[in-house]
C-alpha cells in the first residue's frame, strides 16, 4: 500500500469519525478537535490491524515487556 493510500485512509477515517458528526464554529476549533482525536485516540488507543488488532499503547507495553525478558 502506498503512502498516499495510507494518508487517504487516515483522512477518510477522521472525516467519518469526527468531522461529519459535528459542526465547528471556526477552523481553530476543528484543528483542535482533530489534534485531540489524532494524538489522544487514533495514535494511541485505536485498535489497528497491523499491530495484531491491539492498540499502539498495548503493543508498546507488550514490546517493552518482551525487551525486558530478553535483557534479563
pLDDT, tens digit, 9 for 90 and up, residues 29-62: 989 998 998 888 888 888 888 899 999 999 999 9
Distance, CA of 33 to CA of 28 (rounded, Å): 9
Average pLDDT, integer, range 20-36: 90
Helix, strand, coil abundance in the chain, percent, nearest 5: 70, 5, 25
Amino acid at each position: 500500500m502506498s503512502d498516499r493510500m495510507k494518508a487517504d485512509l487516515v483522512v477518510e477515517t477522521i472525516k467519518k469519525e469526527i468531522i461529519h458528526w459535528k459542526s465547528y464554529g471556526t477552523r481553530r476549533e476543528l484543528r483542535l478537535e482533530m489534534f485531540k482525536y489524532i494524538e489522544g485516540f487514533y495514535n494511541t488507543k485505536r485498535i489497528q490491524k497491523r499491530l495484531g488488532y491491539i492498540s499502539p499503547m498495548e503493543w508498546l507495553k507488550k514490546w517493552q515487556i518482551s525487551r525486558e525478558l530478553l535483557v534479563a
